Amino acid sequence: MKIAKSIVSLIALAGCCGTLPALDLFSFGNLNKPIPDGQPAGVSDVETVSSSIPQIGSVQVSLNIAGNFNGDLYCYLVHNNALSVLLNRPGRAAGNLDGYADSGFQVTLSDAAVNGDIHNYQGVLSPLAGVPLTGLWQPDGRNVNPAVVTDTDPRTAGLGVFNDQDANGTWTLFVADMASGGISVLNSWQLQINPVPEPSSLNVLLLGVGLSVARGLRRRTTPKSWQ
C-alpha cells in the first residue's frame, strides 16, 4: 500500500513540474481609430505577430475603447480561420434591446476570468457615470448577429478557439458601433499569448520511475493466470 501511494505521489509530482515557456505580449497603442457611428462596417486593426510560441495554450486580450454607450459595440478577434467574439452588444437582452449605457472599456478578457461573462457585467459591477468598465472578464462569446443577439444566446466563440494554433501570423481586431447616437474610439489593444507547458526533464524522469515501479509491482502481485 505504501509503495502504491508513493507511485501516485511521483506521478502527481511529475504532472505539476512542467516547464512553462515565456509568454508573448504584444501591445498595439496610439491607434485612436474612430468607430463609425451606427455603421456595421466598423473599423479593423490588422497586426502581424512574430512569436516564439508554436502552439498556443491560451490567449488574453485587453481592450481600451472610449465611448458613451457600450451596448452599441460589437467586437471580434480573428487569427487564421478562428474567430472569437469579444463584445456583442453588452447588456442586450429581451428586456433591454439597447444594452448597457456605460462609457467605454478598459478591460482584459480571459476565458478563465472569475468576474464571468462581460455581456452581463452589470450583474457584478456598474461603472460610475462617464467611467469606463475595468477589470478581468470572460469574452462575450456569442457568435450571433449583433442585430438580434441577447443574453440567452449560446457562448460558442471564446478565446479558446485559438488554442493549439501557431501564434505567428496575422491577428485582426474588428470593432463596430451597431446603433447611432454615440461616438466610440479604439484607442489601443493588447494580445497576451500563453504557450502550452512543455514537460521538463524532471517530469519525464519521475513519470518513468513511477510507471516502472508500477509494472514491477504488478508482476509480483498479479496471479499468474492474469499475466
Q: Per-domain residue ranges for the chain? A: 1-19+199-227, 21-197
* Distance from the Cα of residue 164 to its chain's centroid: 13
Q: Which of 186, 216, 210 is nearest to 11 (CA)?
A: 210
pLDDT in 10s for each residue of the chain, 227 residues: 444 444 444 444 444 445 556 999 999 999 999 999 999 999 999 999 999 999 999 999 999 999 999 999 999 999 999 999 999 999 999 999 999 999 999 999 999 999 999 999 999 999 999 999 999 999 999 999 999 999 999 999 999 999 999 999 999 999 999 999 888 999 999 999 999 987 754 344 444 544 454 455 444 444 443 23
The 10 Å CB-count burial string (b at 16+, else e) for 72-89 is: bbbbbbbbeebebbbbbb
DSSP-H helix ranges across the chain: 2-15, 201-221
Q: Does domain 21-197 have CATH number 3.90.550.10?
A: no
Would the pTM count as exceeding 0.85?
A: no
